[in-house]
Chains A and B, each alone.
Chain A
Amino acid sequence: MISSGVEAAWYVYGVVPADARLEGLEVVSEHGLSAIIGRVDLAEFGEEPLRRNLENRAWLEQAVASHDDMLSGVVGAAPLVPFRFGTVFRDEAGVREMLHARRAELRGALDRLRGHVELGVKVFLVDTPRGEEAKPATGRDYLLQKQRARDAATNVQAEALEQVRALHEHLASLADGARANPPQPPELSGRRDAMLLNAAYLVSTGEQPEFIAAADDHGDGRLEVVVTGPWPAYNFVEPEEAE
């Protein structure tokens, strides 16, 4: 990716323990911590070009995928603290200084995340077709029908929310961390069905099958449960607040 004549910089993907045995990864190590790094060109990742590139969909797609690919390759092989996209240093010394300054926090995070992966769970309220009602004979019938339809929809929504709350509580009890993020609106989820839950759970590596089965069990004709992962623990890099 880097040829001579370009201004190289150090892109940090995340941090693993320095004793982790990972093939083929370039790292910078300090204080028992290894930053997984990649050499990038400042013409691409400098402040201005980066901002421009983020507006380029093809570039963005490729860049976020390769960030995740690099980290996903480490999931399961070593404890891992994922960094946010676009963390770049001008030289190796900058990476070392960062490891030095943040060592206590990074060690704490590695200890917490050891032996865990992140699983994503989204729940959609599936739009069920309503039964045909008789044609209203009068304007009053018409208004009553409209009212009934609205009440039914409100009830469905309220019941579904209650079901989702129970699902989240159950899954959180099986996990070592839980985060409920704001559900995505249809224009982001790409689906017309309302997203009722957009959560992430920190799950023991060995307990993934049980967790997924438990999540799937909550699905029914009305609620569709979608599990994704295993992911690097993007949602769990900060210690969870006391519940």
Chain B
Amino acid sequence: MSVTRQAHPAQGAAELPEATRLRLFQLQVEIRHTEKRAYDLFLQNLVKGTSHLALGQEAVAAGFAAAMNKDDYTFCTYRGHHHTLARGASMQAVLGELMGRQCGLMKGKGGSMHLTSVAHGVMGSYAIVGAHLPIAAGAAWSAQYRGTKQVAVAFFGDGATNIGAFHEALNLAAVWKLPVIFCCENNMYMEYTPISAVTAVKHPAADRAGSYGLPRQVIDGNDADIVYSTARDAIAKARSGGGPSLIECLTYRHSGHSRADPAKYRPKEELEEWMKRDPVALYRGRLLAAGIAEAALAKIEAESMARLDQATEAAKASPTPALESAMTDVWADGGNAWRN
């Protein structure tokens, strides 16, 4: 599967204002830095459990987040650090959650696979493949019902396109004309198996769009400008009552499926080709070519790293959660009582 950059007519990308482009660059840099730090912390045995890094997929998160309104809804998968950060959750709260600390987004009760920050519109990260697509449709229905003009975006991997919830959500969203965008991050592999080996169509998301009366959209998910302008258009359509969109972003994860996976199943040439298309490096080069000063980019990078170092130290210094918290918040009254 090679990247077909002509697949989307996002030619307006070149006209993006400089402030938007710098924002897209900054988001990608912050995600890249934080994901690498998460990996380092794992090697130091400070991140327990599992984690699914989005290294290589930063452009999708940056492009969408920059196009969304503050009160729009994001629904992520277990590979959701990038979206959570892009919507504005702090590095410390994300790393703290990975490390099981009191300062974590959910104070250690959810972990890497369930990052949630309602204050930033991140309505949860869902670890059962495909489960959040109908949930996002429900949030979109609620927005439509309440007349708030909010939009919901569900991000999911290529593997989710073969599960029933994907199809049920697409159909319901189309029938009820819901303000929801289904964004497939097609990184070509489920866990170990290539999606192409187990899917009846070439483009696992986009080639199904016609079944639900939706246009087929395949875009270069490593190009933040293209992602941003595609997201902006789909969001505008949803906000104005035009119904759902399904967008397939072609991308690649630089690391394995999870921390336990060295990803040896990937052909060397394929990995090399995609590393050449590293979204962060690609975007940096584009901004330089557009006349933005090297110093301006270096400053963004240095500031991101400084913030990350500070966040890492703060997360490390944060206490572990009080043991009593394991027994709280089963119910809305804050408790866990199931009997009197």
A binds B: no
A residues near B (Cβ < 8 Å) are none
B residues near A (Cβ < 8 Å) are none
